[in-house]
């Protein structure tokens, strides 16, 4: 169930990034006309996708820890909630890898745009 949710989220992120590339076509054209390389354009969109994923992962970690602490308050006998640091780090690594996988195609599409056609785009 978690894999299917992750797959759906990655498809949604790719769609968001494709819309971002379409909306920012003129900006990409201006950056390329001013000398930005394809690598710099690709890095910009990949970093944006990774930041979106890590923000979602961090929010999930905060909500998970808060929920675990809230549930441990209702356990009789003073149940302690252990913070799973290893699993939190693994979750963030997965978030980064999903951001890379989802953002690569839109970033490559943005990097491959022709500057003249991008500036002409309305």
- Is residue 71 within 8 A of residue 3, CB to CB? The reply is no
Helices (H), 1-122: 2-23, 25-33, 38-73, 85-111, 115-120
Cα distance between residue 64 and residue 43, in whole Å = 31
Residue 74: band (very low, low, confident or very high) from pLDDT cuts 50, 70, 90: confident
The tokens for 36 are: 């930005």
pLDDT digits (tens, 9 = 90+) for 15-67: 999 999 999 999 999 999 999 999 999 999 999 999 999 999 999 999 998 99
- Is residue 49 within 8 A of residue 106, CB to CB? The reply is yes
Specify the pTM: 0.84
Burial of 102 (0-12, 13-18, 19+ CB in 10 A): buried
Burial of 92 (0-12, 13-18, 19+ CB in 10 A): middle
Residue 119: band (very low, low, confident or very high) from pLDDT cuts 50, 70, 90: confident
pLDDT of 101: 93
């Amino acid at each position: 169930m978690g894999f299917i949710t992750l797959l759906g989220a990655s498809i949604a992120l790719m769609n968001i990034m494709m819309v971002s590339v379409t909306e920012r076509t003129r900006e990409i054209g201006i950056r390329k006309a001013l000398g930005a390389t394809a690598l710099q354009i690709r890095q910009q969109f990949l970093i944006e996708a990774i930041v979106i994923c890590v923000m979602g992962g961090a929010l999930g970690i905060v909500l998970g820890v808060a929920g675990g602490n809230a549930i441990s308050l209702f356990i009789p006998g003073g149940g302690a909630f252990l913070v799973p640091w290893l699993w939190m780090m693994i979750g963030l690594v997965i978030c980064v890898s999903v951001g890379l996988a989802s953002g690569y195609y839109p970033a490559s599409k943005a990097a491959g745009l022709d500057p003249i056609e991008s500036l002409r785009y309305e």
